[in-house]
């Protein structure tokens, strides 16, 4: 069976990653901080009809700082800053990437079995939208987007395993003639060895409304930040605590179907500090 891989470069708003934690907010004064490196290298892309075609080999290498902080027990502030983002083909461009600032508010009471939270995410266009000699190497897409998201979560036990599940839906409003997007997804995770090891599986679906006039499409030498990108993807992640507060994580992502994105495996490695 033919396997498809996901290029996450079009995550200009860093959606799933920046909103890790589902409907739960951080307690007041606590935080979660992570430095991670994500990379992909592709010589093929998915066309609008879902087939693959060859292109100039391009790579993206992204080192980010992610932070969550509990302003109150209900309100969490989130920042995802790609402070070093490189795009290369026959030449290379390196700089800061598009940055996300998000605000999550828990809507349910602490005693509720289900946890519901709303999030406003602002995608700040701090990256370079036209890099390289032909303008096709970018560290950002040049558009300011605003995303509203709802997460519904619940924790439970399976034998001795502490587990959780989350579902979400989101609307991403994009500017600069990019099409708006509808996003839905789900996540399940389980803690093993007294919660020292966590295994996580995520599903994310992005559907474009096709209401933008930006004509960027992937082809030989085209921009990596294409408009009207769509996919159904899954991500697997393992996170482990080395000490009570410090841990490491690794993840990879693949797609079930896709259009107008590069086709290549993506990987991520990170180190985090969990201050409870």
pLDDT of residue 131: 66
pLDDT of residue 133: 63
Torsion 132-136-137-142 (CA) sign: positive
CA distances 139 to 96, 149, 176, 243, Å, are: 7, 25, 16, 35
- Would the pLDDT of 14 be above 80? no
Residue 152 has a CB neighbour count (10 Å cut-off) of 18
| Residue 157 token pair | 């036990």
Residue 120 has a CB neighbour count (10 Å cut-off) of 13
- Would the pLDDT of 220 be above 70? no
- Would the pLDDT of 3 be above 60? no
pLDDT of residue 140: 82
Q: Which of 267, 186, 200 is nearest to 238 (CA)?
A: 200
pLDDT of residue 251: 97
Q: How far apart are the first and last CA of the chain?
A: 44
| Residue 93 token pair | 């461009």
Higher pLDDT, 224 or 120: 120
- What is the C-alpha to C-alpha distance for residues 210 and 152, in angstroms, rounded to an integer? 28
Average pLDDT of the segment spanning 58-81: 94
- Would the pLDDT of 159 be above 80? yes
pLDDT of residue 129: 78
pLDDT of residue 215: 67
* Helix (H) or strand (E) run with residue 248 in it: strand 246-259
- What is the C-alpha to C-alpha distance for residues 143 and 7, in angstroms, rounded to an integer? 20
Please check whether residue 234 is in contact with residue 258, taking contact to mean a CB–CB distance below 8 angstroms: no
List, for residues 24-65, the tens digit of each pLDDT value.
999 999 999 999 999 888 888 888 888 888 877 777 889 999
- What is the C-alpha to C-alpha distance for residues 164 and 267, in angstroms, rounded to an integer? 24
- What is the C-alpha to C-alpha distance for residues 209 and 22, in angstroms, rounded to an integer? 25
- Would the pLDDT of 263 be above 60? yes
- What is the C-alpha to C-alpha distance for residues 22 and 153, in angstroms, rounded to an integer? 6
Domain positions in the chain are 4-275
- What is the C-alpha to C-alpha distance for residues 79 and 91, in angstroms, rounded to an integer? 30
Could you please report the per-residue DSSP string of 152-211? EEEEEEETTEEEEEEEEEEEEE--TTPPPEEEEEEEEEEEETTTTEEEEEEEEEEEE---
The whole-model pTM stands at 0.88
Is residue 71 very low, low, confident or very high in pLDDT (cuts 50, 70, 90)?
very high
- Would the pLDDT of 122 be above 60? yes
pLDDT of residue 219: 55
CATH top-level class of 4-275: mainly beta
Question: If you count them, how many residues does the chain have?
Answer: 276
Higher pLDDT, 216 or 52: 52
Compute the half-sphere exposure of residue 162: CA atoms within 13 Å on the CB side of its CA: 8
List, for residues 126-156, the tens digit of each pLDDT value.
988 776 666 666 778 889 999 999 999 999 9
């Amino acid at each position: 069976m033919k396997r498809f891989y996901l290029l996450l470069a079009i995550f200009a708003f860093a959606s799933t990653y920046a909103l890790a934690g589902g409907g739960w907010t951080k307690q007041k004064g606590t935080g979660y901080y992570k430095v991670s490196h994500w990379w992909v290298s592709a010589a093929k892309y998915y066309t609008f009809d879902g087939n693959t075609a060859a292109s100039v080999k391009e790579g993206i290498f992204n080192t980010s700082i992610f932070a969550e902080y509990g302003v109150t027990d209900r309100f969490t502030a989130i920042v995802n800053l790609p402070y070093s983002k490189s795009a290369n083909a026959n030449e290379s461009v390196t700089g800061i990437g598009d940055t996300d600032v998000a605000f999550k508010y828990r809507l349910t009471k602490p005693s509720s079995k289900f946890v519901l939270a709303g999030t406003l995410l602002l995608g700040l266009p701090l990256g370079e939208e036209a890099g390289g000699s032909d303008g096709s190497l970018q560290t950002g897409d040049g558009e300011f987007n605003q995303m509203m998201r709802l997460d519904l979560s619940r924790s439970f036990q399976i034998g001795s395993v502490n587990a959780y599940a989350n579902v979400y839906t989101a609307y991403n409003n994009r500017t600069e003639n990019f099409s708006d997007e509808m996003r839905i997804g789900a996540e399940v995770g389980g803690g093993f060895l007294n919660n020292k090891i966590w295994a996580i599986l995520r599903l994310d679906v992005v559907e474009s409304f096709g209401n933008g006039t930006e004509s960027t499409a992937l082809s030989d030498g085209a921009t990596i930040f294409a408009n009207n990108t769509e996919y159904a993807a899954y991500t697997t992640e393992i996170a482990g605590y080395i000490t009570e507060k410090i841990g490491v994580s690794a993840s990879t992502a693949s797609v079930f179907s896709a259009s107008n994105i590069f086709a290549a495996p993506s990987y991520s490695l990170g180190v985090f500090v969990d201050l409870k």
